[in-house]
Amino acid sequence: MNVAFLRKSLRTFATRGLSASGTFGLTFTLGGLLGIYQTGIFMTGLSCLMGMKVFGCFGMENAVLRFGGVYVGERDQDNVNTHFFCSILVALLISIPLAVAVFLGSSWISDALFHNHDLVAVFHWVAIEFPLLVVSLLICAWMRAFNLSEVSSFFEIGMLSLFTSLMTWCSYFVGLSLSAGFCMHALVVVTFVMILIGLGVIGWHGVRIPTSITTIHPFMKSLWTYFQIDLVFYLTQWGGLVTLGYFVNSFAVGIFSIAHRLAFTVNFILTVFDSIVAPRFAHMSSANDHAGIKKLALDTTRYMTWFAAPIVALLVFAPAWVLAFFGEGFEAGKYSLILLALAQFVNVLTGPAVFILTMSGYHTLMKNILLIASVIGVLCYVVLVPALGVLGAALAIFIIMAFQNIVAAWAVNNKMNINLLSWWKKSPVQHG
* DSSP codes, 343-358: HHHHHHHTTTHHHHHH
Residue 420 and residue 273 in contact, taking contact as beta carbons nearer than 8 Å: no
Q: How far apart are CA 225 and CA 368, in angstroms?
A: 9
pLDDT at 430: 44
| C-alpha distances in Å from residue 293, one per residue of 91, 279, 281, 389 | 31, 11, 6, 42
Q: How far apart are CA 300 and CA 249, in angstroms?
A: 40
The dihedral built from the CA positions of residue 274, 138, 119 and 173, taken in this order, carries a sign that is positive
Question: What's the domain range around 283?
Answer: 3-422
Amino acid identity at 36: I
Q: What is the pTM of this model?
A: 0.76
- Tell me if 63 is assigned to some domain: yes
Cβ-Cβ contacts under 8 Å for 23 (sequence gap 6 or more): 157, 158, 161, 162, 261, 264
pLDDT at 94: 95
- Tell me if 275 is assigned to some domain: yes
- Tell me if 280 is assigned to some domain: yes
- Tell me if 429 is assigned to some domain: no
Give me the half-sphere count of Cα atoms (radius 13 Å) on the Cβ side of residue 308. 29
SS3 state at 266: coil
155: closest CA among 59, 275, 245?
275
- Tell me if 431 is assigned to some domain: no
Q: How far apart are CA 222 and CA 350, in angstroms?
A: 25
- Tell me if 411 is assigned to some domain: yes
| C-alpha distances in Å from residue 261, one per residue of 28, 160, 197, 237, 307 | 10, 15, 27, 10, 18
pLDDT along the chain (432 residues), means of 10: 59 66 76 85 91 93 84 82 91 96 95 90 96 95 82 83 91 91 94 93 82 80 85 81 85 86 78 67 74 80 85 93 83 92 90 78 82 88 92 92 90 85 59 40
- Tell me if 317 is assigned to some domain: yes
DSSP string, 136-157: HHHHHHHHHHTT-HHHHGGGSH
pLDDT at 147: 77
pLDDT at 384: 93
SS3 state at 201: helix
- Tell me if 171 is assigned to some domain: yes
Total domains in the fold of the chain: 1
Largest CA distance in the chain: 61
pLDDT at 16: 64
